[in-house]
Chains A and B, each alone.
Chain A
Amino acid sequence: MRHFIQLRNASTHYYDTVIVGGGMVGNAMACSLGSNQSFNSKSVLLLDAGNSPNLSNFSKGKEYSNRVVATSPTSIDIFKKLGVWETIENQRAKKVNRLFVFDSCSSSEIEFERESNDEVAYIIENDLIVAALFEKLQNFKNVQIRSNAKVAECRIPNSLENMATLKLENGDVIETSLLIGADGVNSKVRQSSDVNYTSFNYNQHGLVAILEIEPIDGKNETAWQRFTKLGPVALLPLSDNLSGLTWSTSPEEAQRLKNLPTDQFVDELNKALFSQEDQIAPINQILFALNRLNPLRKDTFGRKSDGAIPPQVISVQDKTRASFPLAFGNAHSYISTRCALIGDAAHRMHPLAGQGVNLGWSDVQILDEVLTNAVREGADIGGITYLKDYDSKAQKHNLPVMVSVDILNRLYRTDAPAIVAIRSLGLDTFNALGPVKNFLINYLSAHR
């Protein structure tokens, strides 16, 4: 400790809560505590390693950023509560009212749809969300923000006798009652704590890009996802003629696709979306026969129902292709004394269901509730007594989603006929079972 204080020009500051990480989840946490009545007389510091974001980069007509998220109705509710939804909507957020999932190896398909006015999700650029939250944060007197602040060292105590301590790269020392790690998959806060972390790589990369598409009937309101042998390809609507791509594939393929000339890339993408080469005829015949036996089926006489074909991709915007490795990770505990992990710092999952950051926002909501109780009951907000409520509630909410998505990804990365048959029957059955499907939609867009 002593050498901290002796550093020249360094100063020690105390904040009741310090949030490390100014991303989509960290900023939401700061906003949540900023607007929380019981935190009125508490001090909150948000440490952002980057520059402060600028909302005007996302006005209509400006180029789209290639990192986008499917924001669930529950998360939209959180944005409304935090008072940033209007800001986001006034810039650009594309409503998606239908999610269509299909298989490259069989004709099985599943369709998620909500009542005409309800959304399945909104597709929003990551950085727009960050900027909208950042703008809102300026209104809160109890929240301070430091941009370009990088954490050099992080110490988490064993007991409440001591504070959590951060040393920044500029030498400043910050002490806090509660350190919230929102610093992403390689979280320094997590690494400094003694929590165990399970992780594995999928040996897949996610390739993203901004695409120009040929809208069907002039509309682009369906999110499409096709499972291929190497991973799922998803088209997420951004505007009437633009969609975001999330293409999970092998690392080598991702590298190759990223460097292809535009027209060749578009050809390969359309092939991945439309190709019938991998279809297994006998399975399709069984599916067709079974469909005829289903008393609940819609009478389509075996032809594709309307709107069951994705839009054609016309072009990919310049310099929007990028790729990143995909992995699974979960901290066995999201907390230790004076420390809580939220978002990617606590858990990481495959993007195929678009749930990752939504789980992070759910963490924010749960932690905010738990801290409100702690303050109301006069407790030390860094105490395990309260934080463990956050851990158990968040784990219980997140793990079922994470494990299901992991299984889905494994199930669909093969073209072995037996597996294809099982998953196709499963998907078709699931699609036919209205109540079960509604339960899942409601779980993923929970608490509505």
Chain B
Amino acid sequence: MQKVFRRFHQTSVDLKEIANFGKLSTEWADELGPFQALHSLNRLRVPWIVQNLKGQKSPKLVDVGSGGGLLSIPLARSGIQVTGIDATKEAVEAATKSLKSKPLKLTGVSQNCRFLHTTVEEFSAKPENREKFDAVVASEIVEHVADLAGFVKSLADLARPGAPIFLTTINRTLASKVAAIWLAEDLLRLVPPGVHDWNKFPTPAELETHLKSANCQVSAISGLFFHPIGNHWTWIDSNLCNYAILAHKL
């Protein structure tokens, strides 16, 4: 832990969060395990991202907070060149290991995808990454970071001018306290207890402010609704709970 602390001492990374996700690293690939809602969220977020990159031939995308590669791998399968970065070492190891599987190798997914153990600050500080990506994704991660403004700034640094930035997260409302904490964690145990800290959930207004100061313009905000029975998601108008933001780097 000491080593990790030293390495990430000036970042948006929250060490408690890193420890939490380290423990869960063996469970990433299980479609019906603790990450089932993230697996089913792919049915919405993959087409959302792919549609917005239509017309570009193998665009370069960075997936910040890629975890076990749950979103990176389907995006790579859709023909996108994906770099997944995550601050949790065990998650990156699990993701990298899955790229070695025969199905991903034979289908060319492994060649389209790589995973790096790093923080977004560290990664975006490197000149070879600065404004080099055709798309930036931070899905279900901004609610886990310690310094939201710094995190959003780093995301923007990675995007080339005009590139889309895709964010999904949870709003800080009474509804989300009931749905994401009491129902999802405590009552239905859809996600492991303690995974979410309600106080860190950003509101759309907060995110929009941070995006603006990072020279990005919000193009669309849409709500996401999770149906626990049947484990599926739908797009809705209300942003009271889960929501998605599409922004563009100016």
Contacts and interface: CB of A to CB of B under 8 A. Distances in A.
Do these two chains interact?
Answer: yes
Interface of A: 14, 16, 41, 160-163, 175, 177, 373, 376-380, 382-383, 385
A162 B103 contact: yes
B47 interface: yes
A177 B107 contact: yes
Nearest to B43: A377
Contact of B103 (A41, A161, A376): A161
B11 interface: no
Contacts of A376: 46-47, 50
29 contacts: A14-B106, A16-B107, A160-B103, A161-B101, A161-B102, A161-B103, A162-B103, A163-B102, A163-B103, A177-B103, A177-B107, A373-B43, A376-B46, A376-B47, A377-B42, A377-B43, A377-B46, A378-B42, A378-B46, A378-B50, A378-B73, A378-B74, A378-B77, A378-B78, A379-B42, A380-B103, A382-B103, A383-B31, A385-B31
Given A377-B43, A378-B74, A175 B50 contact: no
Given A161-B101, A385-B31, A378 B107 contact: no
Interface in B194-209: none
Nearest to B51: A376
Sorted from nearest, which 7 A-B pairs have the closest CB atoms?
Answer: A378-B74, A378-B46, A378-B78, A14-B106, A378-B77, A377-B46, A377-B43
Contacts of A175: 106
B107 A379 contact: no
B79 A41 contact: yes
Contacts of A380: 77, 103
Nearest to A157: B103
A287 B1 CA distance: 89
B191 interface: no
Nearest to A14: B106
A406 B187 CA distance: 47
B165 interface: no
Interface residues of B, number: 18
Interface of B: 31, 39, 42-43, 46-47, 50, 73-75, 77-79, 101-103, 106-107
Contacts of A14: 106
Given A16-B107, A383-B31, 19 more contacts: A41-B79, A160-B103, A161-B101, A162-B102, A163-B106, A177-B103, A177-B106, A376-B46, A377-B42, A377-B46, A377-B74, A378-B42, A378-B46, A378-B50, A379-B42, A379-B74, A380-B77, A382-B103, A385-B31
Chain B CB within 10 Å — which of A41, A177, A385 has the most?
A385
A97 to B, nearest CB: 43
A376 B107 CA distance: 16
Contacts of A385: 31, 39
A92 B73 CA distance: 49
Nearest to A378: B74
Contacts of B107: 16, 177
Contacts of A378: 42, 46, 50, 73-75, 77-78
A9 B78 CA distance: 35
Contacts of A16: 107
Nearest to A43: B107
B42 to A, nearest CB: 6
A177 B75 CA distance: 17
A141 to B, nearest CB: 17
Chain B CB within 10 Å — which of A16, A161, A373, A383 has the most?
A161
Contacts of A41: 79
B84 to A, nearest CB: 14
Nearest to B105: A14
A16 to B, nearest CB: 7
A321 to B, nearest CB: 49
Contacts of B75: 378
A377 B103 contact: no
A41 B103 CA distance: 16
A145 to B, nearest CB: 21
A376 B75 CA distance: 10
A173 B46 CA distance: 33
Contacts of B101: 161
A351 to B, nearest CB: 38
Contacts of A382: 103
Contacts of A160: 103
Nearest to B74: A378
Contacts of B102: 161-163
Nearest to B77: A378
Contacts of B39: 385
Contacts of B103: 160-163, 177, 380, 382
A311 B98 CA distance: 67
Nearest to A382: B103
Nearest to B46: A378
Chain B CB within 10 Å — which of A41, A177, A379, A383 has the most?
A379
A382 B101 CA distance: 15
Contacts of B79: 41
A379 B106 CA distance: 15
Nearest to A41: B79
Nearest to A384: B31
A174 to B, nearest CB: 12
A173 B79 CA distance: 27
A182 to B, nearest CB: 22
A376 B31 CA distance: 18
Contacts of B106: 14, 163, 175, 177
A162 B101 CA distance: 8
A201 to B, nearest CB: 39
A378 B76 CA distance: 8
A377 B31 CA distance: 14
Nearest to A385: B31
A162 to B, nearest CB: 7
Contacts of B31: 383, 385
A373 B47 CA distance: 9
Nearest to A161: B101
A377 B103 CA distance: 17
B115 to A, nearest CB: 16
A370 to B, nearest CB: 12
A390 to B, nearest CB: 15
B73 to A, nearest CB: 8
A385 B47 CA distance: 17
B54 to A, nearest CB: 12
